[in-house]
A and B are shown apart, each in its own frame.
Chain A
Amino acid sequence: MRTEVKFSSKRFLMTLTLCACSVILLQNGSLPQRSSFLCRLAAMAAGLLGCFLIFLPSIWLRKRGGDVFSQSLPRAARYAAAAVYTACFFYTAEYFLFPYTDMFCKKYYPDTSPCVIALILLICCVYAALRGANVITRFSVFLFALAMLTNLLMFGGSLSSLRFYSSDLGIRGGFSGFSQSFLYFLTPSFTAVLFACLSGYTRNFRLRQPVIALALTGVKYALVLFFIAFAVGEYALRQEYQTFVLSRVAHFGAYAGIERFYMALSTMSVFMIVSLLLCAMCRSVDRNGSRGFTAAFTAAIFGAHMLAVYRPEVREFFTSPLLLVGLSVLTAAIIPSVMLIFTRRGHNV
């Protein structure tokens, strides 16, 4: 395993967040249907601001040279932190894997079993995870290029379908709609958790990196919301995976088929995120990581995925944005904040 030392936060943040949001957008179905475009936009701005705030404790802790798995912590505290982080990564992996296989089987290959798709994907993820976080972040540069191309095609191809209706520009949705959207747009905060864990040795983690990354994510979100509202319109509300619909609507004259680019992007995004989460899980329990842990976590993810496929209550549990955000806040904000207080006291003494 070569996960150590060279975790490059800059390119990771710039790309992972952008690519990840394409996956998060798969679950656009969880956005309240009655809220208008402007209402969603406001929720998005608030959500991304929340994500930025979640990043701050890790950055401060990093500036002070601290680490969430610091050796100076008591053993019990380290084990507890490792358990919480592993649980968070495990949950995040399921949170992304399940909607992906679900969309895959509903939209692309209706006759396949989601478990087979998950198994094949997970085996590929193990290969990547064994190569280490640094290699995966290098891969993310190509994914970023693919994301740019896909988005360009998706938005460019949807231009001809744009229809502006005055009703979409009003503010509809109410507080419950806003809060639901806000929660949904807080999901990119999972990247902050990865940072809290993986950037243990990074020296180039600066404040401007999450700012730029979140701003770019915001632009992409806004574009997706705009095109879903004005190019796909009411049609999107009928469909479960609205960004997929957007990719289907996009066409250049007689040439359609942008959804295959979208499939490629979402596949690669899930592949990258799950691989990175596997790396992070191994790092949480063992600094050097090991093949045994990677295999064990993969088997656990697959087992949980199978359960989620056959048991609706397990599925609901693994696809709850509230739980994901809660875990992210706990691991990326609360634990590092406690660590900050702990180290400051240590310094004062």
Chain B
Amino acid sequence: MSKKLLLILLIMPLVFSGCKNSHRVETAAVIENVSVERQNGQLCYTFYLLTEEETPNAVSIPADSFQEAQKLARRSYIPNLTLAKLKLLLIHKDVVSEILQTDIEYISTQASFSPVAYVALCDDNALRRVRQNTRAQTMIERQLILCKQQHPQVNIDYLSVFNSYARKNEDGFYLPYITAEGDLRVSERKIEN
């Protein structure tokens, strides 16, 4: 009797609460890459959806911060957005000083954001390349790893960017900078706190 009662008690909350968090694989929007740039004077966050095709499926959201872009994306553009698999955050060199602090503050408190994503600064050409070809993103990742091997002081993942940024007794830190003139090159850029 007690077993049956336990079973009923167990099943009821299961039935009523289960499936609520379900975001099925066929409808889930798993994002691996995000880029930030200024378009028509407005900050714009672009989320690249996973696809098998050559041209990436990108959703651009005008927003003032990552937090706002994420909220807008969930509400209006990509309901089942998940950033747990984020691999690359590309920031345009012109907007870095504007967004880095606020975005770092926000992302550092979010459990849903992958802390081991790569972070890189880039220029217009690199961003255009990324928008045109899905393989460009993978190539950037490879370049970043090469960059880290050659310059150990460069912070390539989000975790190290945050830790360097938060360390108050240091003058600045280094981020990789990627241009796309012909092929992808890697250089360093020092950001002051």
Contacts and interface: CB of A to CB of B under 8 A. Distances in A.
Question: Do A and B touch directly, given a CB cutoff of 8 Å in the complex?
Answer: yes
Interface of A: 106-107, 109-113, 116, 119-120, 123-124, 126-127, 130, 161, 163, 165, 167, 232-235, 238-239, 244-245, 248-249, 251, 256, 291
Given A113-B17, A119-B13, 8 more contacts: A111-B21, A112-B17, A127-B6, A161-B157, A161-B160, A235-B162, A249-B115, A249-B159
Contact of A234 (B10, B21, B166): B166
A291 B167 contact: no
Nearest to B169: A167
A233 B111 contact: no
Contact of B14 (A109, A120, A127, A233): A120
Q: What's the interface size class on B, roughly?
A: 20 to 34
Contact of A163 (B10, B14, B111, B160): B160
Interface of B: 2, 6, 9-10, 13-14, 16-17, 20-21, 108-109, 111-112, 114-116, 157, 159-160, 162-163, 166-167, 169
B109 A249 contact: no
Contacts of A107: 111
B118 to A, nearest CB: 12
A161 B17 contact: no
22 contacts: A107-B111, A110-B112, A112-B17, A112-B21, A120-B13, A120-B14, A120-B17, A123-B9, A161-B157, A163-B163, A232-B159, A234-B162, A234-B163, A234-B166, A235-B159, A238-B109, A239-B108, A244-B111, A245-B111, A248-B111, A248-B114, A256-B116
Q: A112, A123, A235: which has the most chain B beta carbons within 10 Å?
A: A235
A233 B21 contact: no
Contacts of B115: 232, 235, 245, 248-249
B101 to A, nearest CB: 14
A237 to B, nearest CB: 8
A238 B108 contact: yes
Minimum-distance CB pairs A-B, first 9: A234-B166, A233-B163, A107-B111, A238-B108, A116-B17, A109-B21, A123-B10, A234-B163, A235-B162
A255 to B, nearest CB: 11
Contacts of B111: 106-107, 239, 244-245, 248
Contacts of A244: 111
A161 B14 CA distance: 39
Contacts of B169: 167
